[in-house]
Structure 1
Amino acid sequence: MSGATTTPTESSIPEFKQIMGHPSPLWMLFMTEFWERFAFYGIRWALVLYIVAQFHGGASTGEADANLTYGSYLALVYAAALFGGYVADRILGYQRSILVGAAFMAAGLFMIAYPDPTIFKLGLATIITGNGLFKPNISTMVGKLYKQGDARRDSGFTIFYMGINSGAFVAPILTQYLAQYVFGSGDTPAYKIVFIASGVGMLISLVWFYIGRNVLKGIGQAEPEAASPARIAYVALGCLAVIPMVFGLLAVGAQTLQGVLTVLFLLLAVMLMVEGIRGGKVVRDKTIAMLIIFGFNILFWMFFEQAGSSFTFLAENIVNRDFGGWVFPTAWFQSVNSIAIITCAPIVAATWVWLSRRSADPSIPRKFGLGLIFNGLAFLLLMFALSSLVDANNKIPFWTLFMVYVIQSVGELCLSPIGLSMVTKLAPVRLVGFGMGGWFLSTGIGNNLSGIFASHVSGESGMSVASALSGYTFGFWSLVGGGVLLFLVAPLIQKLMHGVK
């Protein structure tokens, strides 16, 4: 089948009005992603707490199941991007894929507000299916706004990443306030309000992109032979058929899901390599470099994504959140990462530019290595707190978990926005959307492993100081070891990248 999306060449990229030194469509995509991330992060803080409260009667023995469900949900969210990228590349085009995906995500968010375990998982499956069409394709479109070699590309992705984190910052604060103080009792949050508010945010994202897509001047539109409205109907029906399959994957458990994801990753690697070999030695080598970095990406997200699982139970049960009678809400910890990203992103972006002007900009592999090491330092702080700062009530100081989120955020800035940009530079030209799906699949594998890891941290009876210390010690050594290894092999990877920076 011929490609469904018009792929602009260097000469066919439209001339865009520049706003703050970047193409104007970047800011439309920024706000589209803002509202989508509002929806995504609006439910992030509540999912594991809701599962324990609603389906396990509030018993701490439900923590392990909640962690596994959360990890599997996140894994499938990112794994679905693999298929969403392919649908956009070959069938529907980027713009229409984003619109269809947004509609399904909104429907799923409203579904999980219904307090039934089957409907809840069907709702999660619907969100996953929609996100697969939305997430990789909007990121790919950011890359298509810039010509190859444009020095603004990395900073453009960093600005886009700030849009992600602006939505992620607002969402936990607003949804927690609505659920607990406007529609809840003050003591017990009305979790369904969290999910409904997030659904409204997703509808705003859908409408914003539908109205604003004209500024793209054809970027991401379907090719004429693929522009038939019938294709939208076919993809929508395909999504409806996929939802029960995703529901089944959620139901089989994280261990079985890990096997499925591993097979998918191997298939993706083979398909990308076949395309890379067809493109010649340079394209082949770039594809190999990209796949190696995907492996380290798995390690990073396995431990970073404790934020929505084991760190939530840590905050709820082991962190001292009492400030003289006012208790810092557990949900608000989810906004710390976003505050740190928004604050530090311009600094990190400016640092890369400053170093580049002096021919000292770290290579992509070394930026990834820094990301792993900073993530490891966050776990080192937890090791110190859990071994030396536990008070008589088995609580650790508030500032320690707060700073863990900040340190992790610095690591994220070294890795995640650079990774999105990397895929647009290294993936075979005909399969850039598919390559972006591979990036999200590797993230998904890390997220599934994060749920498995978090379930071990909580154990069968719920998280304790001892179980947390043991688990987070393992996290520290794994991350620092991975970061050091990546620094050592960075010259080899950089050689395979053939000058891509």
Structure 2
Amino acid sequence: MNTSNSNEAFGHPKGLLYLFFAELWERFSFYGMRALLVLYMTKQLLFTDDMAFGIYAAYMSLVYVTPMIGGILADKILGFRKAILLGGVLMALGHFFLTFEHPVFFYGSLGLIIVGNGFFKPNISSFVGDLYQQGDARRDSGFTIFYLGINLGAAIAPLACAWFAESYGWHYGFVLAGIGMVVGLLVFNKGLKSDVFGNKGFEPNTTLYNKTWLGLNKGQQITIAAFLTVPLFAIIIKFHQFEHYLVWVVSVFLIGYIIYILKSVNAIEKKRLTVAIYFTVLYTLFSAIFEQAGSSLTLFADRNVNLVGMDAAGTNSINAGFIMLFAIPFSILWTYLSKRKKNPNSAIKFSLGLIFLGLGFIIFALSAHSVDELAKTSMLYLVLGYLVLTIGELFLSPIGLSKMTELSPLKYVAFIMGVWFSANFYGHYFAGKIAKLTTVTEGETNVFTKGIFGDTVEFITGITPEIAMQNSDNFQQLYSYLSVYASFGVISVIVGIFALLISPVIKKLMSGVH
């Protein structure tokens, strides 16, 4: 890494600035579309809650399984630069095709975004790690700044796309998301032309890349294959009820490839890789609970919260807005504590992340104490819950991104980044199952209203199944949401405390990585 001042901006490699803005606009497109998706399905396409949650969970989980493949292809053949450009083009097409209201375009668009994200997401994150040398004290701070870019896009997008959708029609909201992706591509391309990345991100093996088959080099072959896999993912989303078979296939692939890597690395790398897997498991639980945000929490806000100043789609920006407020202070905090040798190690940060996440969902459940005659609760609890779980996210998610690049064996770094994102694949799959627990069947309550969970829910919310059944359908729906949030909030806190207790063991396995 060239550390001269001419190649730096604000104390970080200049390339970080371009990756920051490229990711900002890519996430603008992604989260703008995500904020509209469940509402679009339930209000415009008139899908049932159950079907909308199923499609949403399948789409969001697949978005995070393709990064494993995209990571391998970048590691072996494409390099970060070409993978990011290919992914961006696929995603832009996906957003624009959503403007056509036809099943082929609807499912095909989701397929394009899934494949595109597989090339874009792991490789832009790995590219950030590549800007810093091993042991560079600025790494955590750099990833937290990069994470700010993600959430700046995620904060603006739901408000802007929701306003366009509300004012001009759903399809204009999707068009705006597509424009965001195009801007992200242009920013990244400008960084390439300005040569801010130096010799980073090129094809790892040009001889292999230039090998031809039927007159096509490896890059062209991969591009054609990427487009050909789009219908496959579209079909999986269409028949999302069979997604559990894919979960098994992905799990077998993951376990097999990780075993292969473990056999080919030295003892220290084995220990570090074990920690990377442990962190990924914790992040899976975090993601399964946290990702109610785009599905059940959006419908909860629409149906059972007295919203002020925004609609339900706009509530998706609350979390990202808090990230914007706190990302830089957290970045400064980690740097400040590092200088004084008081920065908590990553194992402790992960455990605190889970504890704060759980507390955030317990606050959502406490909103029961503000319920009115229309079964609507105060927006204050929604905002406060998002504030607390956002603090948890800042303890865990950007730190995880940073640690994956440090804990991974060098030649497998993009694949291990893909493994990290697989936590979102599993997380969204299980998030869909959790969201479905919030749907109401007449005369029935969910599993979390009975036994020890029922007692816990009553303690937090003050509501029993009997009280819920004596009230309106809207009140029963509210109780269904809050019973699930209270239960999973408590589960997250308990796991976080356990992770805190075993953090000294994890720190030892990290073999010098903080």
Q: TM-score scaled by structure 2?
A: 0.88
Which amino acid letter does the alignment assign opposite residue 205 of structure 1?
A: G
183, 186, 195: which one aligns with 1:207: 186
Q: TM-score scaled by structure 1?
A: 0.91
Which amino acid letter does the alignment assign opposite residue 206 of structure 1?
A: L
The 4+ residue runs of structure 1 with deviation greater than 6 A are none
Structure of higher RCO (CA pairs closer than 8 Å, 6+ residues apart): 1
- Of stretches 163-172 and 327-336 in structure 1, the one that deviates more from structure 2 is 327-336
469, 481, 484: which one aligns with 2:482: 469
Which amino acid letter does the alignment assign opposite residue 404 of structure 1?
A: G
Residue in 2 that maps onto 1:413: 394
Matched, 1:236 2:223: yes
1:226 is displaced (CA, Å) by: 4.2
1:114 is displaced (CA, Å) by: 1.3
Residue in 1 that maps onto 2:491: 478
Question: Given that residues 272 and 428 in structure 1 are in contact (C-alpha distance below 8 angstroms), is that contact kept between their aligned partners in structure 2?
Answer: no
Matched, 1:45 2:26: no
Q: 1:18 to 1:444 in 2, by over 3 A?
A: same
Residue in 1 that maps onto 2:356: 374
Residue in 2 that maps onto 1:500: 513
Question: Given that residues 371 and 414 in structure 1 are in contact (C-alpha distance below 8 angstroms), is that contact kept between their aligned partners in structure 2?
Answer: yes
- Cα distance in 1 for partners of 2:60, 2:152 equals 20
- Cα distance in 1 for partners of 2:207, 2:253 equals 28
Question: Given that residues 104 and 126 in structure 1 are in contact (C-alpha distance below 8 angstroms), is that contact kept between their aligned partners in structure 2?
Answer: yes
Alignment of 1:75-90 (within 5 A): 75-90=61-76
Matched, 1:27 2:14: no
1:227 is displaced (CA, Å) by: 4.6
1:477 is displaced (CA, Å) by: 1.9
Residue in 2 that maps onto 1:336: 318
- Cα distance in 1 for partners of 2:18, 2:221 equals 28
- Cα distance in 1 for partners of 2:357, 2:430 equals 16
How many residue pairs are counted as aligned between the two chains? 473
Question: Given that residues 262 and 445 in structure 1 are in contact (C-alpha distance below 8 angstroms), is that contact kept between their aligned partners in structure 2?
Answer: no
Please list the CA deviations of residues 31-52 of structure 1 after superposition, one character each: whole Å capped at 9, or x if unmatched.
1001101100111211001011
Please list the CA deviations of residues 44-102 of structure 1 after superposition, one character each: whole Å capped at 9, or x if unmatched.
21100101123227xxxx11211121111111111110111011011211100110111
Residue in 1 that maps onto 2:152: 166
Residue in 2 that maps onto 1:488: 501
249, 267, 270: which one aligns with 2:236: 249
Please list the CA deviations of residues 264-318 of structure 1 after superposition, one character each: whole Å capped at 9, or x if unmatched.
2343233234323322110111111111111111000001011100010011000
- Cα distance in 2 for partners of 1:376, 1:408 equals 7
Which amino acid letter does the alignment assign opposite residue 500 of structure 2?
A: F
Residue in 2 that maps onto 1:64: 50
Which amino acid letter does the alignment assign opposite residue 84 of structure 1?
A: G
Unaligned 5+ runs, structure 2 = 211-215, 443-473
1:230 is displaced (CA, Å) by: 2.6
1:355 is displaced (CA, Å) by: 2.6
- Cα distance in 2 for partners of 1:493, 1:179 equals 47
1:14 is displaced (CA, Å) by: 7.6
Which amino acid letter does the alignment assign opposite residue 181 of structure 2?
A: M
Residue in 2 that maps onto 1:3: none
Residue in 2 that maps onto 1:360: 342
- Cα distance in 1 for partners of 2:86, 2:441 equals 40
Alignment of 1:254-273 (within 5 A): 254=241, 256-273=242-259
Give the 3-state SS of the residue equivalent to 1:329 in structure 2.
coil
- Cα distance in 1 for partners of 2:44, 2:325 equals 36
1:258 is displaced (CA, Å) by: 3.6
1:112 is displaced (CA, Å) by: 1.6
Question: Given that residues 258 and 449 in structure 1 are in contact (C-alpha distance below 8 angstroms), is that contact kept between their aligned partners in structure 2?
Answer: no
Please list the CA deviations of residues 1-49 of structure 1 after superposition, one character each: whole Å capped at 9, or x if unmatched.
xxxxxxxxxxx76866111100001001111001101100111211001
1:263 is displaced (CA, Å) by: 3.8
